[in-house]
Amino acid sequence: MKRSKLLRIVPAVLAAAAICSAACAQTAQTVGWSNGSETVHGVLYLPSGHGPHPALVVIHEWWGLTDWVKEQAQDFARQGYVALAVDLYGGQVTNNPQTASQLMRGLSQQRSVDTLTGAVGFLSRRTDVDPHRIGAIGWCMGGGFAAQLAIADPELRAVVINYGELPTDRAALERIHAAVLGNFGGLDRGITPDDVHAFADSMHALGKTIDVKIYPDAPHAFQNPNNKNGYRPADTANAKERERKFLAQTLKPGM
């Protein structure tokens, strides 16, 4: 083979290898763990390497464990986290708001929190996970459950609340030991800027580590591109960068 042709091929091979490195850095598998008398499930995404890695519990919106949520978990695996996308609906997924509302109302909060603490336990028992570097992230309904998980599990290291319902009880807030990052929409009618400010003020008064940001022109669920009227690409990019830096600082220091 002529040298000039070889020089053209080598960059193409290197480019393909780079693409594979990004796309193949994680594998996915359906897993289950016990919650009382039942088995609950999730999709586990693994980063490259043997670890031990930091880990994340990934909690879906009221639509269920959609492809978009799985894509977020997969992206976290690319960043080096063992990411467990939990299914709180037992396989049910919808794009209908009325059905989503029914599914969400049908959840037992205590059972759901138990499922999530079980997910943390599942991750902490894995040999490829550092049990002292586990966090959680959620959106909408999942953001609220991420906050509840931080209350229920004092060992949780970091939590990201994306426009989720915020706890207000002082005794509950005192039980949060995780560092907290929050991203919220200024036009959100459910979790209002006043709610966000009150939560942040209460957390600061208790000496907790918290960083919240309100995007003035963003409504609820602004990070999901399936939210055709509410998706805000620029705000989403900023929020995702905040999440990336926050999780690296809290779950990867010294690694």
What is the tens place of the pLDDT at every residue in 45-56? 999 998 899 999
Each of the 255 residues of the chain gets a pLDDT tens digit; together they read: 443 433 343 333 333 333 333 444 457 999 999 888 899 999 999 999 988 999 999 999 999 999 999 999 999 999 999 999 999 999 999 999 999 999 999 999 999 999 999 999 999 999 999 999 999 999 999 999 999 999 999 999 999 999 999 999 999 999 999 999 999 999 999 999 999 999 999 999 999 999 999 999 999 999 999 999 999 999 999 999 999 999 999 999 765
The structural domains of the chain, ordered by start, are: 27-251 (3.40.50.1820)
- Beta-carbon contacts of 220 under 8 Å, excluding residues fewer than 6 positions away, are 140, 163, 185, 187, 188, 189, 190, 191, 230
